[in-house]
Amino acid sequence: MPAGARWKLSVMMFLEFFIWGAWLPLIFGYLPSLGFNPKWQQPLITGAFNLAAVTALFFFTQFADRHFAAERFLAFSHFVGGLAIMALPFIATLSVTPILRFWLFFAAMLLHSLFYVPTISITNSIAFAHVPDPQRDFGLVRLWGTIGWIAAGWPFVFLLADWEKIPSLTSFLNDTDKSWPQALTQWLGAVLGTSKQGDALRQATGYTFITAGIASLVLAAFSLTLPHTPPKPASQAAERFAWLEAIKYLRVPAFLLLFILTFIDAAVHQTYFFWAARYLEQAVKIPGNWVMPVMSVGQIAEILTMAILGWTLKHLGWRWTMTLGILGHALRFTAFALWPYPVVAIAANLLHGICYAFFFATLYIFVDHYFPKDARSSAQGLYNLLILGVGPFIVNFAASHLGEIYKLPEPVNGLEYNFHDMLLWPAGVAFVAALTLALFFRPPSTIAHNANQHF
């Protein structure tokens, strides 16, 4: 694979997931500060991404695949999506009625999501089309997506710092008792340790959308330099509705059980993103400008866990590897509920690697292994419907309702929720799901060749 092509595809993946990673971790704590109703307005805004995922699966992505060169569609989508998400913090400050402000905010979020979500598949298509050996090369290119997500969290150490309370660098350098390296180190320490608080922090969180929008516009321009990837020929009717054929495989008990447990695991996974930022800030007392870097520890662990996934599957098999993946959620939420300390929170976030690689990544490999070649893509899409669409959308409302139940009458030392009792719920759900998988999941003894095959 030419070095130039690898470099371009890697940058594409880096920016693609930098965009998503810039806004997702903090949006759940940002929306309450805007006064949106927690029962339906907040879940609907965060659910815009999931609605777009369903639309992309059945319509948008297929339409783009057949009618546009992939790199041009990528450029147009990120241009429109970038402008849409950059509008969010400005809409939040409009002097209009609350209900109009909500609908404008929701519309901009939905517009961004409708154009962003299809690009997840489009970037994969571009990469697969131009790597010489997908099995050997794609993983190395996709790795840069995870690195992009991690990198997205670190600018906010500085963007969310309280610069009004931080002495100028000049004042440190003018201290004759210190060498300039010592002065610079102390100044950086002041920056890293001084976060905005309260309303100032909430308002500054709007920078997440500006950052995502800038990255999106950069990727829009960069996409025009990517290798040409022509549109695919129009599929036959049978192929256009192949996802309906994939549903027939749910007659197989192992596939049906895995389908149900995927929904549960996706819901628990979304619950983490829904509450993590507020938990880390309120219960663990992580400074606001360090919340995203602390959460990014999970993606760092994901890279390491993916490296040992092949060995784990070989030695533990499908059932126990995926059981460990779900159990990782149970352990993380249990640790959060019982021990709200910085060291424990950071260590528990390392379990994200196990949660993702041992369940979601293993699930994709399982589908690729057991489903016939002509149904694999549709089957992957069917499970993605749960992972990116239905599961997270439903849990946005459920987790919001859970928050209303466990919200304290008055904040206590900055704590707004009874996190101890609340987080034991997703821990318990994950534990039951892991136990169910361990006891009842039995992979088919043969590989399917068609939807009518009996196992």
End-to-end CA distance of the chain: 41
Task: Indicate if 247 and 229 belong to the same structural domain.
Answer: no
Residue 338: is its pLDDT beyond 50? yes
pLDDT tens-digit readout, 406-419: 999 998 888 999 99
Task: Indicate if 110 and 217 belong to the same structural domain.
Answer: yes
190 occurs within a structural domain: no
Lowest mean pLDDT: which of 7-21, 155-169, 326-340? 155-169
309 occurs within a structural domain: yes
Residue indicated by tokens 């429109």: 80
224 occurs within a structural domain: yes
168 occurs within a structural domain: no
Task: Indicate if 315 and 374 belong to the same structural domain.
Answer: yes
Comparing CA positions, the residue from 191, 222, 206 lying closest to residue 13 is 222
- The last residue of one of the domains, among 179, 210, 234, is 234
Mean pLDDT within 300-311 = 88
- Residues 330 and 359: their CA atoms lie apart, in Å, by 13
Q: Which amino acid is residue 150, in one-letter code?
A: I
Task: Indicate if 145 and 273 belong to the same structural domain.
Answer: no
Percent of the chain whose predicted confidence (pLDDT) is above 90: 50
Which tokens is 231 given?
């549109």
Bridge partners (DSSP) listed for residue 161: 195
Confidence at residue 1, expressed as pLDDT on a 0 to 100 scale: 56
Task: Indicate if 330 and 411 belong to the same structural domain.
Answer: yes
Task: Indicate if 396 and 342 belong to the same structural domain.
Answer: yes
Number of domains in the chain: 2
Confidence at residue 447, expressed as pLDDT on a 0 to 100 scale: 56
Task: Indicate if 292 and 209 belong to the same structural domain.
Answer: no
Task: Indicate if 205 and 266 belong to the same structural domain.
Answer: no
Residue 68: is its pLDDT beyond 90? no
Q: Which domain holds residue 269?
A: 242-455
pLDDT tens-digit readout, 233-271: 655 444 555 566 677 778 888 889 999 999 999 999 999
Residue 123: is its pLDDT beyond 60? yes
- Residues 128 and 384: their CA atoms lie apart, in Å, by 19
Largest CA distance in the chain: 82
106 occurs within a structural domain: yes
Residue 446: is its pLDDT beyond 60? yes
Residue 231: is its pLDDT beyond 70? yes
H/E element, 165: none
Task: Indicate if 213 and 335 belong to the same structural domain.
Answer: no
Task: Indicate if 323 and 246 belong to the same structural domain.
Answer: yes
Q: What average pLDDT does the chain have?
A: 86
pTM for the full model? 0.85
Confidence at residue 453, expressed as pLDDT on a 0 to 100 scale: 52
Residue 25: is its pLDDT beyond 60? yes
Confidence at residue 121, expressed as pLDDT on a 0 to 100 scale: 81
400 occurs within a structural domain: yes
Residue 135: is its pLDDT beyond 90? no
Q: Is-contact 383 259, C-beta < 8 A?
A: yes
- The last residue of one of the domains, among 205, 234, 263, is 234
Confidence at residue 237, expressed as pLDDT on a 0 to 100 scale: 45
Task: Indicate if 247 and 129 belong to the same structural domain.
Answer: no
Residue indicated by tokens 């002509």: 374
Confidence at residue 148, expressed as pLDDT on a 0 to 100 scale: 94
Residue 198: is its pLDDT beyond 60? yes
**DSSP 8-state secondary structure symbol assigned to residue 371:** S
Residue 101: band (very low, low, confident or very high) from pLDDT cuts 50, 70, 90: very high
Mean pLDDT within 28-52 = 91
Confidence at residue 236, expressed as pLDDT on a 0 to 100 scale: 46
Residue 161: band (very low, low, confident or very high) from pLDDT cuts 50, 70, 90: confident
pLDDT tens-digit readout, 357-391: 899 888 888 887 887 766 666 777 788 888 889 99
Confidence at residue 401, expressed as pLDDT on a 0 to 100 scale: 93
- The last residue of one of the domains, among 210, 234, 258, is 234
Q: What is the CATH number of the domain that holds 58?
A: 1.20.1250.20
Percent of the chain whose predicted confidence (pLDDT) is above 70: 89
87 occurs within a structural domain: yes
If one compares 197 and 32, the residue with the highest pLDDT of the two is: 32
142 occurs within a structural domain: yes
pLDDT tens-digit readout, 168-184: 777 777 766 667 677 77
Task: Indicate if 246 and 356 belong to the same structural domain.
Answer: yes
